Amino acid sequence: MSDKRLQQLNQYNGYTNKIKHTSNSELALRNKFVFFGKFDPVKFESKIDWNYKHHHARATYQVYLHCLHMVRYLTNSYLKTQELKYLDKAKETIQEWLIAKENQSFDTKNSAWKDHSAASRMKNLVYYQINVPNEYKINENKFEKIVQKHCKFLAMKEHYSENNHGMMSDEALLYLSNFIKDESSAKMYQEKAILRMERIIYKLYSSKSYNLENSPEYHRLTQNLSSRFIRLVDLMEINFDVSCRKIIEKSFLNNKRIIKPDLTYPLIGDTGLYTANFEKDYNNFIDYQAGLSIINTEHEETPSESSWFSFKSGYLLRSHKHHDDLSINYFYEGEDILIDSGKYTYDRRNPKRTFISSPQGHSTVYKMNMSYGLNDPVYDIENMKINFVYENTDYVHLAGINHLFEDVKIYRDIIYYEQLGFIAIDRYESSSQQFMGQNFNLHPDVKVNELDENTFLLNTPKGNKLHLKEHTSRTLNKYFSIEDENRGFYSEKFNVLLDAHQIEFRKNNVSSAFVTSLFDINKVSLENVVFENESISFNLNGESIKINLQKI
């Protein structure tokens, strides 16, 4: 390999003139390691325990431990300070990992050989190998064997997933092929990586170029992984499918429509708080394949006071999917009113994670204390989806179904007035009596006052006042405050819970409906709300309105 190509690959792999020495390296010298980002530091008394189990995020910490990111930041500290103590620790860490018995087999019970950890670890080892003095480099023949072993693992079908993890594997496999001396082996791995990446882009993205893994965060992640792969392909002067390039290029336009007016990504699915650095596009985004609709309403004079509304139902992939179908989120005149629950952790055994991903963690309608199976998206799409989004000059009508709860069919219609608020009509049918709930997940800064039976006043920090009212008979309500240990939380950052509160309306019968309005009381007079089986009529600001609902 030429020096120029090696330099290009090193820069691709993260080397810049702006590398930093961080406090993480100082901690590592004391055997106290930060596995990734802002994770809690983990102290080991002597050697690293490669089977380490974190107290509340076991699986995640295991994967990132075996990524060996500490090797990279120790290498960077050496490059910045020229102090060999950081290389001594990096080399010691590498040797510990290589000789540990529990890390040898692909079938190990720890996370040494997971797609994510193997892909990241090898890129960190290559980074070390390129950037350290000769006396610290891993023996050339030994390094070749390490690369070959990782390529063999990443190429194996049984260790490959057709999701964002597969993209990590393909990108790492293509990158590592540059460090294999046998040309036929290198070419084989290159061809496999390219063919798999082309296939996965076609699978992961809808016809509107939106990622189907149920999360704006993973839409952004797979964009970045795909873009990096394409950049590497071009660096290596290899052909790559033109349509795949265009899908990824187009996908970046969707980000501008999905983000809220404050430029943050919605916490839908497994998504954490992230603020974009580009201008928002106020055109609506409607993708029936992804089961996501975003209605954008621009305040032309003061864009920061614009509004945003989301409606989610359906899936084509299970990755990062919550039980959030028929759920809504509402950003009104520059303020969050109804929010999603975020991701918190990937550990499915964690009870907080269980709640955050449950129907009760979202603003939706559901069978109380129950969930539903996500078994087969090919067949489930007939029973859970957005049926239509109809727009006219007065309102937007969004309609969807969820028929996956046992013995319950749910139909949700939202009549959304972009400048004013909305009415949610939730009908359900069953062959037996059901305990049903309709939930509203409130931002912690929204203050709640109960005015009368099933009517709540929501006060926002900017002084907006909204009425939340359920209009039908035989409906009970329950307010879950911020202090509630079981429901008073959501998550914006990994492993961090924040306060939230909820208002839940309840019914207990065979077939019935919730009819609930949320409007700005300074703009709206709502009267004479009458629900019939397939229509809703009401008087809004003096105008009589009747709207047909989706058919049952």
Q: Which residues contact 250 (CB under 8 A, 6 or more apart)?
A: 209
308 has a pLDDT exceeding 90: yes
As a whole number, mean pLDDT of residues 462-474 equals 96
Query: Smallest Cα–Cα separation from 291: which of 417, 398, 370?
Result: 398
As a whole number, mean pLDDT of residues 437-456 equals 96
94 has a pLDDT exceeding 80: yes
Distance CA 14, CA 124 (A): 10
Helices (DSSP H) in 360-455: which residue ranges?
377-380
Convert the pLDDT of each residue in 488-519 to its tens digit.
Answer: 999 999 889 999 999 999 999 999 999 999 99
Q: How far is CA 465 from CA 449, 461, 516, in A?
A: 11, 10, 16
- Map residue 59 onto helix, strand or coil: helix
- Please report the pLDDT score of residue 304 as a whole number: 87
Cβ atoms of 497 and 521 closer than 8 Å? no
Q: What is the share, in percent, of the chain residues with pLDDT greater than 70? A: 100
- Please report the pLDDT score of residue 347 as a whole number: 80
- Sign for the CA dihedral angle at 519, 523, 528, 530 comes to negative
Query: Smallest Cα–Cα separation from 365: which of 324, 318, 406, 330?
Result: 324
Convert the pLDDT of each residue in 331-383 to its tens digit.
Answer: 999 999 999 999 898 888 889 999 999 999 999 999 999 999 999 999 999 99
- Please report the pLDDT score of residue 350 as a whole number: 87
Residue 121 token pair: 């670890």
Query: Smallest Cα–Cα separation from 10: which of 1, 383, 202?
Result: 1
289 has a pLDDT exceeding 90: yes
What is the band of 2 on the pLDDT scale with cuts at 50, 70, 90? confident
Query: Smallest Cα–Cα separation from 117: which of 193, 156, 62, 175?
Result: 62
Distance CA 120, CA 106 (A): 16
| pTM listed for this prediction | 0.91
- Sign for the CA dihedral angle at 480, 481, 485, 487 comes to positive
- Please report the pLDDT score of residue 374 as a whole number: 94
Q: Which residues contact 180 (CB under 8 A, 6 or more apart)?
A: 144, 147, 148, 151, 186, 189
Distance CA 175, CA 122 (A): 10
- b/e map of 24-43 (b: 16 or more CB within 10 Å)? bbebbeebebbbbeebeebe
As a whole number, mean pLDDT of residues 312-340 equals 96
- Please report the pLDDT score of residue 349 as a whole number: 81
The backbone torsions φ and ψ at residue 384, rounded to the nearest 5 degrees and listed phi first, read -155, 110
What is the band of 38 on the pLDDT scale with cuts at 50, 70, 90? confident
- Please report the pLDDT score of residue 3 as a whole number: 87
